[in-house]
Chain A
């Protein structure tokens, strides 16, 4: 029952989020600010995580597939497909749920408890629309870029480790990268990350927006934002995979 009212409240909030902004110019300015905060500021963590995971994945597969009848190029192929199918979308979003989600929830939550949201409302501004829509838009714009970046860097990480350690020859690795490449997998990955970007920003905004009390509650909202984002990402990962790949 409580879950049902929460879902109801979420959709009521979203119905005021998706309204026409008062001024397009201000909306665009807000989106750019958010792209910087949500997208640009996440580049370094996405890069580091992707390079290292790409490297480790390649190493793991190379070590575990050391039977003579398994072709070596499968190492490159598996690095590529793991990055595209799951890592660069799902795992990256789980990380971003922690970084971006908690940030959004505490920012909006603080604005709520210090009456800044009331101040917006009193000026005759649709506060949900003004605060949340630019965040969702910015995430839809910047997360797919992070997704592609993560795929490229992950594969590069694998390349580096094969060149440096020789667990697999560079030739085999690159051959594997090109072997049986399914372009739709990239589309699938991009679709997933778009859905996840909406989940992270809207769910976190929701928890921030309905914060009541003091600093302690802001902390709680931000934890809730991360937990619910992660659960929903995992759930939608399952649903989307079922819909798109089977």
Chain B
């Protein structure tokens, strides 16, 4: 479980995160949704300490994170898997080396054991025969999936995904949503996913936080999202004709 308490973050005089409170439960795909520029990425990066918030506390299963020393932070981070908005694969390493990278550093497994784990993770994200290719040699969708494989290679307790399916075709996007959902349930991971894609929300979201101009404007379950009377949320959700129709049919 991850708890976010009263987090504020500014860049210069630009107040990006305004007193955010949220709780993210294990075994759930927790979604952070909001318009472009609302502060989703900044929130995600603040939770894992890539940005340092001015005020507030963050607890990973009760362990205070923001003010912890670097050594303790690194220990917690070894339990974290992260899929960056751009993938962030190591371009100088092959797909196999990318996924093996955390294993090399943090396990004492034999080469054969590590290879087995790598292939297991690749299978998990549906990638075959790409072990020796470089990130530049595979498609964007594959890069995202390899990035997920790398994030789960050490069996993380916490998984963070920043727009894991942006820029992908709808079919691949759904595969990735389902994959994240399956992994989350299977290993009881606390998963946080940033997205502005309503399809993802419907496919995988368990609990949803709607961020509006840096504030946690609304939170609730997937079912509640269509029946809310929150104006800004409705504007976001029913921006597409499709969602309007769904509302009409179901409502």
B-binding residues in A (CB < 8 A)? 22-23, 26, 110, 114-116, 118-119, 121-126
Complex: chain B residue closest to A19, CB-CB: B70
**Cβ–Cβ contact A115 & B88, under 8 A:** yes
B80 interfacial by beta-carbon distance below 8 Å: yes
**Distance from B77 Cβ to chain A, minimum over Cβ atoms (Å):** 4
Please measure, in the bound complex, the distance between the C-alpha atom of A116 and the C-alpha atom of B90, giving whole angstroms. 6
Contact B84 A119 (CB under 8 A): yes
Within residues 36 to 54 of chain B, which ones have a CB less than 8 A from any CB in chain A? 45, 48, 50
**Contact indicator A124/B86 (Cβ below 8 Å):** no
Return B87 CB to nearest CB of chain A, in Å.
Answer: 8
The verdict on B149 contacting chain A, using a C-beta distance below 8 Å, is no
Which residue in B75, B85, B88, B102 is a CB contact (below 8 Å) of A116?
B88
B73 surroundings in chain A (CB, below 8 A)? 124
Is the Cβ of A119 less than 8 Å from the Cβ of B104?
A: no
Shortest CB-to-CB span from B103 to chain A, Å, is 11
Min C-beta distance of B149 to chain A, whole Å? 13
Partner of B91, one of A22, A116, A118, A122: A116
Query: Is the CB of B82 closer than 8 A to any CB of chain A?
Result: yes
What A residues does B105 contact at CB under 8 A?
22-23, 26, 123, 125
Complex contact A124–B75 (CB within 8 A)? yes
Bound-state CA distance A122–B154 (Å) is 12
Is B77 a contact partner of A121 (Cβ separation < 8 A)? yes
- Supposing A23-B105, A124-B106 touch, asked if A115 and B75 sit within 8 A by C-beta, the answer is no
Give every chain B residue within 8 A of A114 (Cβ-Cβ): 86, 88, 91
Q: How far, in whole Å, are A123 and B158 apart by their CA atoms in the complex? A: 12
- List chain B residues, Cβ under 8 A from A123: 77-78, 80, 101-102, 105-106
With an 8 A cutoff between CB atoms, is B244 at the interface? no
Beta-carbon contact of A122 and B77 below 8 Å = yes
**B74 proximal to A (CB < 8 A):** yes
Contact between A122 and B80 (Cβ–Cβ < 8 Å)?
yes
Q: With a 10 A CB-CB cut-off, give which of B76, B84, B89, B105 has the most chain A CB atoms.
A: B105
Which of A23, A115, A116, A124 has a CB less than 8 Å from the CB of B74? A124
Closest chain A residue to B82, Cβ basis: A122
Q: Which single residue of chain A is at the shortest CB-CB distance from B73?
A: A124
State the Cβ distance, B24 to closest chain A Cβ, in Å: 17
- Enumerate chain B residues within 8 angstroms of A122, measured Cβ to Cβ: 48, 50, 77, 80, 82
Residue on A with the closest CB to B154?
A123
- Give the docked Cα–Cα distance between A180 and B41 (Å): 68
The CA of A118 and the CA of B83, in the complex, are separated in Å by 11
Report the 6 A-B pairs with minimum CB-CB distance, sorted nearest first: A124-B77, A115-B88, A124-B78, A124-B74, A119-B88, A122-B82
Q: B104 contacts which chain A residues (CB < 8 A)?
A: 23, 26
Query: Which chain A residues lie closer than 8 Å to B88 at the CB level?
Result: 114-116, 118-119
Instruction: Given contact pairs A116-B90, A123-B77, enumerate 4 new A-B contacts (beta carbons under 8 Å).
Output: A110-B91, A116-B88, A124-B75, A124-B76
Cα-based distance from A116 to B85 in the complex (angstroms): 11
